[in-house]
């Protein structure tokens, strides 16, 4: 933690035909005890009464845009063009801040990206105090509990060629390329609705995760990393550590070949 600062937070709310969810999110924002904030609502051209909800809450909304977009990440990128705050957080309609003190809590921390925990389906999803690249790739992060320093977000934004995990890439890419600082807050910052699209299309999500690994992992290790991942995901953390010591890398490669051979040889044996 650092000394308390008078920082401004930009809250971008993304919504489309979810008037009830939008109302819950705006009520949650209304409960926040932190004054230095702006609220940007990006609506995808809703026809269900969402515009009425926006009009009824215009006293707390700084900017509202209602127009067709090409998807959630496109809407989020449009939202970025309006931000004036020091830090930016995204909320989907229906999501809520965990507590009225959430922004006050985040304001006590510093980092290029601040990650928090969340409540999803009534269950708390946790972080590690120090998140490594492996942790980000294997555990992920919780979209509505991620606070981006504005300059980092404006530089990288969201890669719209990713349809499911552009939010994960928006954290991983600057972490790898610019060695930004990532700070963890080990308590929930958001309460999230169940049913994100990445959960529904989990096979496609795995494909995008592999693509992300392909783009960010050092080419020297990439092929072996992917091979090792297919053999035994539980060993990935040790592999990431050991791969820094090139003298033992041939041994790791030999072990991966042996494990692959044994896996193929005995794959016909049922696992009870």
The closest alpha carbon to 64, from 54, 52, 53, 50, belongs to 54
pTM (2 d.p.): 0.80
- Residue 190's DSSP bridge partners are 97, 118
Q: Encoding tokens for residue 226?
A: 């992917």
Q: What is the pLDDT of residue 227?
A: 57
Which pLDDT value is given to residue 221? 53
At 152 the pLDDT is 98
Nearest C-alpha neighbor of 133 from the set 167, 173, 74: 173
- Position 202 scores a pLDDT of 74
Ranges in the chain, pLDDT < 50: 1-3, 231-244, 266-272
What pLDDT is attached to residue 213?
83
H or E element at residue 89: strand 87-92
- 224 to 7, 106, 146, 241: CA distances (angstroms): 44, 39, 31, 13
């Amino acid at each position: 933690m650092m000394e308390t600062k008078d920082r401004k937070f930009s809250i971008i709310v993304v919504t489309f035909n979810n008037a009830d969810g939008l109302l819950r999110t705006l009520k949650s924002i209304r409960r926040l005890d932190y004054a230095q904030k702006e609220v940007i609502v990006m609506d995808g051209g809703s026809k269900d009464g969402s515009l009425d909800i926006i009009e009824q809450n215009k006293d707390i909304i700084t900017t509202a845009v209602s127009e067709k977009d090409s998807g959630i990440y496109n809407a989020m990128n449009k939202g970025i063009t309006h931000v004036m705050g020091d830090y930016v957080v995204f909320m989907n309609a229906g999501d809520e801040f965990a507590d009225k003190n959430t922004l006050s809590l985040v304001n006590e921390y510093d980092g290029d990206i601040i990650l928090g925990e969340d409540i999803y389906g009534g269950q708390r999803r946790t972080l590690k105090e120090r998140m490594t690249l492996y942790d980000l790739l294997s555990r992920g992060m919780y979209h509505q509990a991620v606070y981006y320093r504005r300059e980092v977000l404006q530089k990288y934004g969201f890669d719209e060629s990713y349809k499911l995990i552009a939010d994960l890439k928006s954290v991983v890419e600057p972490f790898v390329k610019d060695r930004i600082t990532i700070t963890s807050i080990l308590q929930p910052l958001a309460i999230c609705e169940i049913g994100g699209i990445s959960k529904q299309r989990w096979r496609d999500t795995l494909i995008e995760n592999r693509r992300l690994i392909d783009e960010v992992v050092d080419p020297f290790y990439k092929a072996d990393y992917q091979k090792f991942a297919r053999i035994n995901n539980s060993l990935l953390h040790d592999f990431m550590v050991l791969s820094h010591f090139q003298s033992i890398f041939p041994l790791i490669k030999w072990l991966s070949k042996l494990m692959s051979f044994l896996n193929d040889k005995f794959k016909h044996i049922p696992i009870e």
